[in-house]
């Protein structure tokens, strides 16, 4: 509705301006010629950078690697067709504040296959985009007071401020409601991209009906799916929507929860923000450990998968902590036999998640991954999707630098990597700063043959003498026959 009103206002303004100029019959001012995108890079996506020094050479050098430079400075893949994996952006783009417009829009622009968001209920029945059960980490109330989301109303939620992920500073930006999330997703999505709505609240049937109606209204039946850690919530949704995909989120593996708890304790000693919230983080760590020890259930066996499918329907799947997936390598084939999908996530960081995925063969990878990383990084590490074709010879210094970069170069850190251009170094996806050309140790082989006598004994040959002159040697001779 807002966009329609906005479009009407813009149209009215344009019409009024046209009528005014026609009535006055004034001589129009000369118009500046519009910038024309160079033909050589006109095939790139609409958000590709097309202005600047050597931009054509830079884009063509990147394009030789299935990459391009976006107008916002990020390096993106031209095509993700080489990556047979559903890559889902965990809480939107990981570089943007959680629960924000930008987190969703940026993830869609970065070619994620799907975007995962968390939705919760306020006490007045409003669905909002929020992950934690209380404020304080990603969102902060202007008074500094902590609130439980389920006890807030719409007005109080609107008074929250988002927190910058890098600095923890408060931003002049509020978190968004679920309806606002659906609208921005609908505005920026490509037809193939979907929204993964993870439900965090214990909602009744009517609240879930309201949620499903909003999604159908703003996005359409084929543009979203649900996930939740509560089977009963998903069971209710199946009655409301017989067609939608339902993903059951199996709880984190006990070892992963213990690792998370340990990391939180270490963080308390080093980070001022963690120190301020030590009691809450320790409580969360203890609660999580106790909860998963007492309630952790494994659904990776054939019998457990069948029971899950019987409850949720055929269009369903299992979303697993990567540790659980690695410890049950046959779960994908068992699920596939039932027509179910398997996704993986990690509560111990994206690097750990990717390291585990790298140990798997292409056939044993899960159907999808929910990650805090770019599609480029996942695709390049798992499928080598940005290997240089070497069909283009760059002309500029920066173009030649791009062409010289090895296959493991980290283009997510492209701007930072340019600082090492003159020194001949680059940033690796796996091992940090490295030299582009490493000096190889040259060993001289002895090519002098050793001939054999008639009975097999070797012929002794003189050693090869060195005839080159070395440092000067001064000899002092004895005088008058003295010793």
Domains in the chain with CATH codes: 50-82+385-436 (no CATH), 91-372 (3.20.20.190)
Average pLDDT score over residue span 164-168: 87
CA–CA distance from 259 to each of 121, 256, 299, 463 (Å)?
30, 5, 22, 64
Q: What is the mean pLDDT of the chain?
A: 83
Q: What's the whole-number mean pLDDT along residues 369-380?
A: 96
Q: What pLDDT, in 10s, does the model give residues 26-36?
A: 445 555 556 68
**SS3 track for 36-55:** CCCHHHCCCCCCECCCCCCH
Query: Which one has a higher pLDDT value, 466 or 65?
Result: 65
DSSP H or E stretch at residue 246: strand 246-249
d(CA 392, CA 63): 9
- Strands 432-435 vs 246-249: parallel, antiparallel or unpaired: unpaired
pLDDT at 470 over 90: no
Q: What angle do CA 147, 151, 152 make, to 5 degrees?
A: 70
**How large is the average pLDDT for residues 315-338?**
97
Q: What is the pLDDT of residue 262?
A: 81
Indicate if the pLDDT at residue 18 is higher than 70. Answer: no
Q: Is the pLDDT of residue 25 over 70?
A: no
pLDDT at residue 250 is higher than 70? yes
Mean pLDDT of 161-167: 90
CA nearest 345: which of 131, 115, 88? 88
What average pLDDT score do residues 109-137 get? 95
> Is the pLDDT assigned to residue 17 strictly greater than 50?
no
Please enumerate in sequence order all residues whose Cβ is within 8 A of that of 284, keeping only pairs 6 or more positions apart, or say none: 264
Q: What pLDDT does 277 receive?
A: 45
- Going by pLDDT thresholds of 50, 70 and 90, the confidence category of residue 168 is confident
Supply the pTM of this predicted model: 0.78
pLDDT at 92 over 90: yes
What does the pLDDT read at residue 166?
Answer: 84
Average pLDDT over residues 313-320: 97
Task: Give the 3-state secondary structure of residue 134.
Answer: strand
Model confidence at 281, pLDDT cuts 50, 70, 90, reads: very low
Give the model's pLDDT for residue 257: 87
Alpha helix ranges (H) inside 136-276:
154-157, 178-188, 205-218, 231-240, 254-270, 272-276
Better-scored residue on pLDDT, 427 or 453: 427
Between strands 160-162 and 139-141, the pairing is antiparallel
d(CA 477, CA 480): 10
Note the pLDDT of residue 142.
86
Q: How far is CA 302 from CA 61, 249, 254, 299, 326, in A?
A: 49, 17, 21, 8, 16
Indicate the range of 224-228, 342-346, 420-424 predicted with least confidence.
Answer: 420-424
The average pLDDT across 230-243 equals 97
Mean pLDDT of 229-255: 96
- Mean of pLDDT values over 401-415: 95
Read off the pLDDT band of 453 (50, 70, 90): very low
Residue 411 DSSP code? G
Q: Is 195 or 287 the better-scoring residue by pLDDT? A: 195
The lowest-confidence range among 272-286, 319-333, 429-443 is 272-286
CA 12 to chain centroid: 42
Average pLDDT in the 148-152 region?
96
pLDDT at 36: 82
Residue, of 462 and 59, whose pLDDT is higher: 59
Mean pLDDT of 407-427: 94
Residue 80's pLDDT band, with cuts at 50, 70 and 90, is: confident
Q: Assess contact for 318 and 248: CB atoms under 8 A.
A: yes
Q: What percent of the chain has pLDDT over 90?
A: 69
């Amino acid at each position: 509705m807002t966009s329609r009103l906005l479009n009407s206002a813009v149209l009215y303004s344009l019409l009024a301006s046209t009528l005014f100029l026609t009535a006055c019959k004034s001589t129009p001012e000369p118009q500046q010629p519009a910038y024309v995108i160079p033909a050589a890079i006109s095939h790139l996506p609409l958000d590709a950078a097309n202005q600047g020094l050597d931009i054509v050479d830079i884009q063509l050098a990147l394009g030789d690697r299935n990459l391009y430079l976006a107008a916002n400075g990020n390096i993106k893949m031209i095509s993700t067709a080489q990556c047979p994996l559903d890559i889902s952006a965990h809480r939107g783009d990981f570089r943007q504040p959680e629960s924000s417009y930008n987190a969703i829009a940026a993830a869609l622009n970065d070619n994620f296959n799907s975007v995962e968001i968390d939705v919760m209920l306020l006490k007045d029945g409003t669905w909002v985009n929020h992950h934690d059960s209380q404020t304080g980490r990603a969102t902060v109330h202007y008074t500094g007071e902590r609130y439980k989301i389920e006890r807030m109303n719409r007005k109080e939620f609107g008074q929250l401020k988002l927190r910058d992920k890098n600095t923890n500073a408060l931003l002049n930006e509020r978190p968004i409601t679920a309806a606002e999330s659906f609208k921005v997703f609908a505005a920026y999505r490509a037809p193939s991209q979907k929204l993964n709505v993870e439900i965090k609240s214990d909602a009744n049937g009517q609240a879930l009906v309201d949620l499903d109606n909003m999604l159908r209204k703003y996005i359409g039946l084929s543009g979203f799916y649900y996930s939740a850690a509560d089977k009963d919530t998903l069971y209710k949704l199946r009655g409301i929507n017989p067609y939608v995909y339902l993903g059951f989120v199996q709880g984190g593996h006990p070892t992963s929860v213990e690792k998370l708890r340990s990391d939180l304790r270490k963080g308390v000693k080093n980070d001022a923000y963690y120190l301020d919230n030590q009691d809450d983080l320790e409580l969360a760590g203890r609660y999580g450990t106790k909860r998963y020890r007492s309630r952790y259930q494994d659904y990776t066996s054939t019998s457990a998968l069948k029971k899950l499918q019987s409850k949720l329907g055929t269009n369903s799947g299992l979303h697993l902590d990567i540790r659980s997936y690695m410890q049950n390598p046959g779960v994908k084939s068992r699920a596939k036999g039932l027509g179910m999908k398997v996704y993986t996530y990690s509560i111990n960081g994206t690097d750990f998640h990717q390291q585990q995925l790298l140990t798997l063969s292409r056939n044993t990878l899960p159907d999808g991954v929910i990650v805090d990383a770019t599609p480029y990084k996942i695709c390049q590490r798992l499928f080598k999707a940005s290997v240089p074709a070497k069909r283009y010879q760059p002309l500029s210094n920066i173009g030649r630098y791009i062409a010289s970069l090895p296959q493991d170069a980290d283009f997510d850190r492209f701007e930072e990597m340019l600082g090492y251009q003159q020194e001949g170094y680059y940033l690796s996806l796996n091992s940090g700063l490295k030299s582009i050309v490493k000096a190889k140790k040259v060993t001289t082989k002895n090519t002098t043959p050793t001939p054999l006598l008639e009975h097999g004994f070797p012929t002794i040959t003189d050693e090869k003498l060195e005839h080159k002159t070395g440092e000067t040697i001064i000899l002092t001779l004895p005088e008058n026959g003295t010793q």
